[in-house]
Amino acid sequence: MLVTTDPMKAAAAIAAGHLAAVPTETVYGLGALASDARAVARIYAVKGRPADHPLIVHVADAVAFGSWGFRIPTYAHALAATFWPGPMTLVVPRSDRAKDFVTGGQDSVAIRVPAHIDARSLLIELCKITKDPAVGIAAPSANRFGRVSPTTAAHVLDEIGGLLRGGDVVLDGGDCTVGVESTIIDCTGPNPRMLRPGAITTQDVEAATGLKVTHDSTVRASGTLTSHYSPTACVQLLAAADIAAEVAGAGQGVIGLLALAEVETPTGVVRLAVPRNVEEYARVLYAALREADALQLEAVLAVPPAADGVGVAVIDRLIRAAAGA
């Protein structure tokens, strides 16, 4: 396994059938050539991911969208034009290019054009190597299934470094700037349907399409299980006013606190992060949960931010993390 800052080396590894942990603006992904069934099977094996869970295919630009999708609705093209490159995944009816081993056996495929400069450089180089302008990288988050997503290369190494092989690559692109996974929108029906909240909000989608976003989809998508993104420490959501009482009634285990900077830290509680706003909360969320496990904390008390902007996604991830307790 090679750790590198050179996207060209990661592209060469993927083209050769190996895996590469890839930085995006959201979280690090564990990538393989999306047309290579054997390489994609290794993603599932390394992650311990159920075989019917679909993967997101990352492509270099919106032109490749039409190669992977089929009869893509006009509003999906509007979303691509507005938000790509960026933290949005669009689920559309699949073309023959998208195979069952990527789609989890569904008739749809999830596509994204990432904005991270290293991910984009990797994809552009991979297009050159394969001579395929629509080449895709299948890349779920680079962590064990159900666990906390990585937002640095160090997190990747801690999580799955021991499961990677010679020829595999970890591309170190620094800290992820968004910090939570992409918004996923189901575009297989007449209206966009929210599958997973992210930095791009329901209001953003409605403004770009002129259509009402619904939440009635039955499409399976990444990161939508009830329990997900879970550390070993028990995560508990509560209001700031309830922290003191919860701490007073706690047992002997050491407790951590995750909340906006304006929330005070009680004596004897480990402060895991002091985000000044909701965007910073999203960026530090997963690092804070990983720090709780590194410190062997028994519990994390999390005061969610307001349900505005990316705060909706932060709340979603905290609820799923708490469900793993």
Q: Decide which of 3.30.70.2860, 3.40.50.2300, 1.20.1740.10, 3.40.50.11030 is the CATH code for 234-323.
A: 3.40.50.11030
Distance of CA 295 to the CA centre of its chain: 24
pLDDT tens-digit series, residues 149-207: 999 999 999 999 999 999 999 999 999 999 999 999 999 999 999 999 999 999 999 99
Give the CATH superfamily of 2-209: DHBP synthase (3.90.870.10)
Cis, bond preceding 73 (omega within 30 deg of 0):
no
The DSSP symbol for 127 reads: H
Pairing of strands 29-33, 108-112: unpaired
Least confident span in 117-121, 175-179, 221-225? 221-225
Structure confidence at residue 249 (pLDDT): 76
Residue 250 has a pLDDT of 74
Statement: residue 96 has pLDDT above 90: yes
The full set of domain ranges for the chain reads 2-209, 234-323
Per-residue pLDDT band at 251 (split at 50, 70, 90): low
Q: What is the mean pLDDT of the chain?
A: 95
- H helix or E strand, kind and range, residue 14: helix 7-15
Predicted confidence (pLDDT) per residue in 22-59, tens digit: 999 999 999 999 999 999 999 999 999 988 899 999 99
In the predicted structure, residue 252 carries a pLDDT above the cut 80: no
56-58 and 169-171 beta bridge pairing? unpaired
pLDDT of residue 217: 86
Residue 218, pLDDT > 90, answer no
- Per-residue model confidence as pLDDT tens digits over 277-325: 999 999 999 999 999 999 999 999 999 999 999 999 999 999 999 987 5
Q: What digits encode the pLDDT tens for the residues 227-240?
A: 788 899 999 999 99
Nearest to 5 by CA among 25, 22, 30: 22
Confidence (pLDDT) at 34: 98
- Summarised one tens digit per residue, pLDDT across range 3-20 is 999 999 999 999 999 999
What per-residue confidence (pLDDT) applies to 298?
Answer: 92
Q: Count how many residues are written for the chain.
A: 325
Residues 223, 286: Cα–Cα separation, whole Å: 14
pTM for this structure? 0.95
pLDDT band at 248 (very low <50, low <70, confident <90, very high): confident
